[in-house]
Structure 1
Amino acid sequence: MKIRGHRETVVSFCCPKFAAIFLFLAVFVFIFLLFNMDVLEQYENFFIYLCHINLLTPCQFQHKVITTFPAPRPHLQRRFCSFQPRSPEDALEERLLLDSIAWPETPSLPVPLSLEQTTDPAHSTFTILPEKGGRQWHVGDQLEVMIKTYDFKGRPKKSGGDVLLARLHNRALGAGVAGKVLDHLNGSYSAVFSLLWEGSAQVEVTLVHPSEAVTVLHRLTREQPDRIYFGSVFRSGSVSETTTCNVCLRPTQQPLCNYTDLITGEPWFCYKPKKLSCDARITNYNGGFHKQLKAQEEKLFRSGVNMKVYIRASGSASVTVLPKNKDQPEVKSSIVHSGPVGYYYQGAWQALSGTKVHHFNTSSAISQCLKGKVVHLYGDSTIRQWFEHLNAVLPDLKQFNLHSSVRVGPFMALDYANNILVNFRFHGPPVRSISVPAIELHYIANELDHLVGGTNTIVVFGIWAHFSTFPIELYIRRLQSIRRAVVRLLDRAPGTLVLIRTANPKTMTLDAALTNSDWYSLQRDKVLRAMFKGLNVHLLDVWEMVLAHHLPHNLHPQPPIIKNIIDVVLSYICPQKGS
């Protein structure tokens, strides 16, 4: 030890150039650590995950219990929601998807917050192009609208990022079609519509959220992914305890129960009860919602002021559409318009892509279509509506009493004479619902892996609304596991019909915006469409079917829309010749 100390002294004092080098390296390492704490945090999260799956011996499991973690450093509190590593292919796809849905940069919020510089729908306007008269519109043309946004002082906005929806409609004709909106990133936007019916067509533009509200929504997901929290009841004999559960649990000194699915890898954790084991978990329930906005931020989410508010027209809001002119060249829009998937006319959905829609207006027509079929419905309450609709319109379809939750199910109904079986099962957690037996929460991918499949099997699923408050990486990974199961199902039974429901716009209140905003739904809707593109599956574009309809937006679309959706489903099951 003396020799070592002597050598260190020699280096420090006899060779000052080495001391300078060591000092430089020390400063470099300090700067590296200072600016790369996220990297270190990822390593720490990775080691925590290894503890979760019992690959590191310091975190011994007792059944499914993880022993106490050390208290996290303060800077790690903001990223307590970590996920298990995936394959390089999945990780690359996740990165590409995140890049593809990147929202335009939104403004930082001043302190104290004032609405003066935020987007005001009352001052904003839209104009049908071209602005000067003399233009005739025909069926088959495209109508373009320029939208200009202003703040509450009437000053033009200079940046984009607002959430806008657009619709063209004629209430008297029961006609409507969704428009496509393009952000020019300078406070102006374009909306383009396909003209698909003769007569009047009125433009409707809605500000869902100002860009400043998107700033808040983005921050909430980053900083508070656990703002909706869940709980479980644990029971053994006369002893009962409740604890908090979630995908993302903040690190504490309390041990965790790890309920990560062994097949799909889907994460779920609960704080371990003090007296009972993790195996004593009985139920899962929605624990509540932490509304932790900063001062004055509620101003950005006011119904009738700056949330789901119509923008007025500068000039006429409608055009008259003449019959299609064969000699007239097709109008080319100045923005890319992929075209709608369909539109309403006389209240009935007309598909422009996919299968030709046949309208099943009698119970006998529906029964004949479903005869000999097994229909598996997986998802949330917006899929449960479809089970309820079929159960209501088919008198011979009898629902079994499985003594299950009326909200979560599972449900089963049988028409014995026509050999029709319809099942519904809720997707796996997170599930915002009343108390439900934990054993009834099955992941869709696992359910698909238990299906034989075949030409008489129809699989329908929709999964979106319960994932809004979580990092979108969770949603991407859930869809990746479902997609793998769909591929396996179609490989072993290529005749299986697989239908996938998209998200839909809904009514906006303050709480609804913070937990299930249309902005969150839009982001997940883009991911869903990209995830299943190219597979032998069919997308049910409920987003456009709700947006194009005259009825108010609702998380659970109203019966006329549900009827049209079921018509599309049945048209895929029983396509007409030539469609």
Structure 2
Amino acid sequence: MDHGTRFVIVLATATSVYFFFVLQDGYNCVSNRKIKGFLPIRQVTAKYSTQSVIQNNLYGCTVRMPDKSLLPDNIKEGKTNRKERHLSFPTDYKKSVVEIINPQKYYNICDNIAIRIQARGANGSMKAYGGDYFRIKLFTEKPGYSAVGPDYFFDYENGTYVALFTLRWTGTVRVYAKLVHPSEAVEILNRTTEGSASKVFTFYGEFKTQASDGKNHSEIVICGVAPFEPPMCNVSASQTHGPWFCMYPKNKKLSCKDWTTISMNPNSGKQLQGTLSTQELAVFRRTKVHLNTTLLPSIEVRGTPPNETNLPNCNLPAVPPTIQTNGYFYNNSWRPLNCRVNHFEDDDIGTCLQGKSIHIYGDSTGRQMYDYLQASSRCVSSQNHPYMKSCEKDNLSMQFRFHGPPVRGRQVIPVKTLRYVAEQIDDLEGGPEVIIIFSIWAHFGVPDGTFYRDRLQAIKGAVGRLWQRSPETKVIVRSANTREHSIGGFILISSDWIALQGEKTLRDVFSQDKRFSFLDVWDMTLVQQSKDAIHPLKPTIVQVMDYLLTMICL
């Protein structure tokens, strides 16, 4: 074998991944060793190899497993036990400690740096179990905003966490860490997403009809995804996994076929909050709180910044099965690791979309994308309802349609405007210039992951039937994004942690068919400069849309 040659052989079974390494350049050969959580997912249990595995990307930087100096073996791993959690001593962001494991006077571009978080309780004692939801990034604010998330984040399940980063730009780099939820809150959220909220978080349904004598009859009842005690109205769409039930109207002039509107029960948040004890509610009083990193030594990075001009334009990637860092911000622009994003002015967008038929289905995050494209391309609106939008210009057509129930919001929505996405796909004619975009996640925090998975599977099946009719149709799945956290019961169904669980489900469903393409907004919003928002703010949404347009136009 020539000096400098590196081989990485990967063998995979259904449940395990084994890596065989042959590393020259002074490394000893390493025999096979089982690794749990090797892939660069956002958070994994800390079972790891102590040797480096090198993976080259087009920038020349490497993503490598930490060596002994970065992740020493003398940290005793714990085991998370739900019964051991103490609500009286949740993780305290003021007492938790952040430190650089391998501090140096200078670093070079592509060096690795490891950051350790030691979770502590309010009394300063070290936590004995893991499960806290932290977010951590490296960033620089000037001359332009640059930021990156970790390649790996390890939870030792004993209160110790380690994030491994690749340094990707020069200058003074700072560490930013926040505690999104302590593990005690995550445990409660687990209980919520396992279905305990399905009968508490409910909606209003109005039933309305006109009798033969001309008199109008109406009644508002409680509706939701969980069945009620009979008598009830089962208004589910079984073929598209749209379970929906309403209490039967007391007015004898009304029947189940008279269901006309849906709206969110404004008392649901308080009712959901009422399922928690005072002690449980206390762990949600503060979310997304910043850990103290001001005393950390400066990270000075030297070298030549990577040149992205050698990279190809981004094309439509398949949906990845896991969550991982695939890009970073550099001088206010988003840079994927293996391709180049181009910026589009309004005229560029109009030119790009000529001849295309774009169909966006989902929630208001999809509507935000439609509004951006419609305004930029100057497409003339023919329908402008919050749940149904469409426009045309020359040979360009676009439409947005909201998904079927559940739909959160204070508006009273006519049922006829909320068709299930799978039903709409079954009615659609595809083609080589037809682009379908799904953004379906924000309203599915209740009742559980199975409910969301089944809905996605129904949509996936409808797209499969569409591809039988029109195999050249492009279908893009947009990820979730981080959002603002509210206080009170609503956080139990709208936390970033819940969105993260849904994101894992979404990727698992659609990654099984490589014909689905992917727009990763989650990775971008984790490290954005703007504050978290359900509808990403302008600096971020511009980057999202540039990324999308690069993939479909160039």
**TM bucket by the smaller chain?**
0.7 to 0.9
User: Match of 1:510, SS?
Assistant: coil
Give the AA of the match of 1:123.
Answer: K
- 2:285 is matched with 302
The one-character-per-residue Cα deviations of 1:81-101 (angstroms, maximum 9, x if unpaired) are xxxxxxxxxxxxxxxxxxx99
Which residue matches 1:16? none
Residue of 115, 119, 123 corresponding to 1:153: 123
- Matched to 1:524, the amino acid is G
Tell me the residue number matched to 1:529: 507
Which of 330, 346, 349 lines up with 1:345 in the alignment? Answer: 330
Q: CA deviation at 1:394?
A: 2.6
2:458 to 473, 481, 487: 481
2:241–2:455 contact (8 Å) kept in structure 1: no
Q: Write out aligned runs for 1:208-223 (5 A).
A: 208-221=180-193, 222-223=195-196
Instruction: Give the drift of 1:228.
Output: 2.1
Alignment of 1:462 with 2:439, yes or no, is yes
Distance 1:553 1:521 in 2: 13
Maintained 8 Å contact 2:390/2:397? yes
Cα displacement (A) at 1:109: 5.8
**1:187-336 alignment runs, 5 A limit:** 187-221=159-193, 222-237=195-210, 238-249=216-227, 251-252=228-229, 254-274=230-250, 275=252, 276-288=254-266, 289=268, 290=271, 291-292=273-274, 293-303=276-286, 307-313=287-293, 315-316=295-296, 318-323=298-303
1-side partners of 2:525 and 2:335: how far apart? 13
Q: d(CA) in 2 for partners of 1:287 and 1:550?
A: 34
Aligned partners of 1:107 and 1:215 also within 8 Å:
no
Corresponding residue SS for 1:154 = coil
* Superposition map of 1:36-435 within 5 A: 105-107=81-83, 114=88, 117-131=89-103, 133-134=104-105, 136-172=106-142, 173-179=144-150, 180-221=152-193, 222-237=195-210, 238-249=216-227, 251-252=228-229, 254-274=230-250, 275=252, 276-288=254-266, 289=268, 290=271, 291-292=273-274, 293-303=276-286, 307-313=287-293, 315-316=295-296, 318-323=298-303, 340-353=325-338, 356-360=340-344, 362-395=345-378, 397-401=379-383, 404=385, 406=386, 409-416=387-394, 419-433=395-409, 434-435=411-412
Aligned residues: 446
Conserved? CA contact 1:101–1:523, under 8 Å:
no
The one-letter code matched in structure 1 to 2:508 is A
Q: Please state whether the residue corresponding to 1:495 is helix, strand or coil.
A: coil
1:493 aligns with 2:474: no
Q: Is the 1:203–1:318 contact (alpha carbons within 8 Å) kept by the matching residues of 2? A: no
| Larger of the two Rg values belongs to structure | 1
TM-score (norm 1): 0.73
Partner of 2:547, secondary structure, is helix
Which segments of 5 or more consecutive residues in structure 1 lack a partner in the other structure? 1-99, 327-336
Q: What is the CA-CA distance between 1:509 and the residue it aligns to?
A: 2.6
Paired letter, 1:357: V
Pair 1:555-2:541 in alignment? no
Q: By percentage of residues, which structure has more helix?
A: 1
1:338 CA drift (Å): 8.6
User: Matched residues in 1 for 2:545 and 2:482: separation?
Assistant: 18
Q: Which residue number corresponds to residue 330 of structure 1?
A: none
d(CA) in 2 for partners of 1:347, 1:217: 34
Contact 1:378–1:460 under 8 Å retained in 2: yes
Task: Note if contact 2:380-2:392 (Cα within 8 Å) is conserved in structure 1.
Answer: yes
Is the 1:428–1:444 Cα contact (8 Å) retained in structure 2? yes
Q: CA deviation at 1:265?
A: 3.4
Paired residue secondary structure (1:204): strand
Mapped to 2, the partners of 1:101 and 1:225 lie a distance apart of 29
Structure 1, residues 347-385: CA drift from partner, whole Å, max 9, x if none?
A: 1111224x531110x211001100000110111111111
Shift of 1:524: 0.8
The Cα of 1:429 is off from its aligned counterpart by: 0.8
| Structure 1 residue 449 displacement after superposition | 1.8
Q: Point out where structure 2 has 5 or more consecutive residues left out of the alignment.
A: 1-42, 46-78, 211-215, 307-321
Secondary structure at 1:553 match in 2: coil
Q: 2:367, 2:400 within 8 Å by CA — same for their partners in 1?
A: yes
The code of the aligned residue for 2:544 comes to I
Question: What amino acid is aligned across from residue 435 of structure 1 in structure 2?
Answer: V
Alpha-carbon separation, structure 1, partners of 2:354 and 2:158: 55
Aligned to 2:57: none
In 2: Cα distance, 1:322 partner to 1:489 partner = 52
Cα displacement string for residues 25-48 of structure 1 (whole angstroms, at most 9, x for unaligned residues) = xxxxxxxxxxxxxxxxxxxxxxxx
- The SS at the match of 2:116 is strand
Is the contact between residue 105 and residue 161 of structure 1 (CA under 8 Å) also seen in structure 2? no
Letter in 1 for 2:119: T
For the residue of structure 2 that corresponds to 1:283, the secondary structure is strand
Aligned to 1:91: none
* 2:446 aligned partner, one-letter code: T
2: CA distance between counterparts of 1:105 and 1:478? 32
Contact 2:44 2:153 in 1 (8 A): no
In the TM superposition, what is the alpha-carbon distance from 1:158 to its structure 2 partner? 0.8
Per the alignment, in what secondary structure is the counterpart of residue 528 of structure 1?
Answer: helix
The superposition leaves residues 11-67 of structure 1 with CA deviations (integer Å, 9 ceiling, x where unpaired) of xxxxxxxxxxxxxxxxxxxxxxxxxxxxxxxxxxxxxxxxxxxxxxxxxxxxxxxxx
Tell me the SS of whatever aligns to 2:291: strand
SS of the residue aligned with 2:419? coil
- Matched residues, percent identical? 35
TM-score (normalizing by structure 2): 0.76
Compute the displacement of 1:422 (Å).
1.0
1:558-573 equivalence runs, <5 A = 558-573=537-552
For 2:364, the aligned partner's letter is S
Provide the rounded CA distance (Å) in 2 between the counterparts of 1:339 and 1:278: 46
Give the whole-Å Cα distance in 2 for the aligned partners of 1:379 and 1:539.
Answer: 15
Deviations 1:460-515 (A, max 9, x none): 11111111121111011111111222223234323222111111111223234222
Q: Partners in 2 of 1:565 and 1:411 — Cα distance? A: 21
CA distance in 2, matches of 1:325, 1:295: 52
Counterpart code for 2:425: L
Change (3 A) 1:460 1:104: farther
Paired with 1:367 and 1:145, the residues of 2 have a C-alpha distance of 45
Q: Is the 8 A contact 1:106 1:161 kept in 2?
A: no
1-side partners of 2:173 and 2:284: how far apart? 30
